Amino acid sequence: MTGVRTLRHVAIETPDVESVRAFTTSFGLEATERGDEVVLRCTGRDQDQITVREGAQRQVHHAEFSVQPGQLGSMQQRIEAAGVALVDAPPGSPEDGLWVRDPDGYFLHIVDEQPASTRPYPDWPVNQGGRTERFDVAMWEHLPTAAMPRRLMHCLFFVSDQVTSERFYLDALGLRLSDRVPGKATFLNGTEGDHHIFGLVQSYGPGLHHAAWEVDNLDSIVVGAEQMARDGYRDGWGLGRHNLGSNYFHYIRGPRNLWFEYSCDIDQVTEAWVGKDQGGKPWAWGPPAPADFTDNDA
């Protein structure tokens, strides 16, 4: 059945655009200007990942998702069958595709464009886990010297009612349940691919919790944390490995509690995956999460 398959980009507003630009370029993203926006992209990927514009407070302006090419018509039927009305594009936004608003008022843009390709993955030979692939090579001489995110993996949004929002994204948008922590968070997938491409965090109202970025490997995560610390961004959480999704992580706190995550090695799911309720802490190993990690404070 027709449904959302990928998260393409997120647009945010903030009163400190230049601070966000400095943070994100230190993180390893490419920042360019387009009209009144700062556009953030990954090196080697021809696709907007986050756009930043001036606003009175930091908030989500909209999120853009994609369906398979040629499925916008059936996607509209799905949305309307769920009792959700299409809306006009917000001022200054593209008018193609479909626009809706979720229960918290987030604008959502749905298009049928295929995701852009990412840079080719390097061939990393390993000597671990019973595999012996590297001979007569000093691997440390070939390790990354800087973190360069490959793609936006996922974003988590704050919502005022986890149950209501979850039902909207499952029924109207056709995302599928990956895992749920009742009363706290819901993780959603696009049927095939990453364990989650989008998620919901229970809060008092809307907001952006974090954006996760794929890097090549564990070395890149550690190198990224080091490069951010050199640039003055030392507040974070990691190194660790999540339970839900199993990905390695290191989070960095940016301006106004803007969390960015270096990540790799996330679980892949298919139509056979069955989402279920989970409990316990959200990491398999690593330091405890900061006490304010899920505070909706921008």
Does residue 84 surpass a pLDDT of 80? Answer: yes
Specify if 127 maps to a domain.
Answer: no
Q: In the predicted model, is pLDDT for residue 208 greater than 90? A: yes
Where would I find the beta strands (DSSP E) of 57-101?
59-66, 98-101
* pLDDT-derived band at 125, boundaries 50, 70, 90: confident
Q: Is residue 7 predicted with pLDDT exceeding 90?
A: yes
Q: Answer whether residue 297 shows pLDDT above 90.
A: no
Is residue 68 a part of any domain in this protein? yes
Range of the domain at 87: 6-115+150-285
The share of the chain scoring above pLDDT 70, in percent, equals 100
Q: Is the pLDDT of residue 89 over 80?
A: yes
For residues 108-118, give the mean pLDDT. Answer: 96
As for how many domains the chain has, the answer is: 1
pLDDT score of 1: 73
Question: How far apart are alpha carbons 3 and 66 in whole angstroms?
Answer: 9
| Res 26: pLDDT | 98
What span, in angstroms and rounded, lies between the C-alpha atoms of 147 and 123?
A: 17
CATH of the domain at 81: 3.10.180.10
Is residue 296 included in any domain, yes or no?
A: no
Gap between the Cα atoms of 76 and 22, Å rounded: 39
Q: 268-269 and 193-194: which strand pairing?
A: antiparallel
Q: What is the pLDDT of residues 38-67, one digit of tens each?
A: 999 999 999 999 999 999 999 999 999 999
Domain assignment present for 234: yes
Q: What is the pLDDT of residues 264-296, one digit of tens each?
A: 999 999 999 999 999 989 999 999 999 999 999
Query: For 207, left (φ over 0), alpha (ψ -120 to 50), or beta?
Result: left
Structure tokens at 46: 């021809």
**How confident is the model at residue 30, as a pLDDT?**
98
Q: Is residue 291 part of a domain?
A: no
169 lies in a domain? yes
For residue 171, give Cα distances in angstroms to 3, 39, 158, 178.
9, 31, 19, 15
Q: Is residue 206 in some structural domain?
A: yes
- Mean pLDDT (the chain) is 96
Q: Is 134 a domain residue?
A: no
pLDDT tens track for 219-248: 999 999 999 999 999 999 999 999 999 999
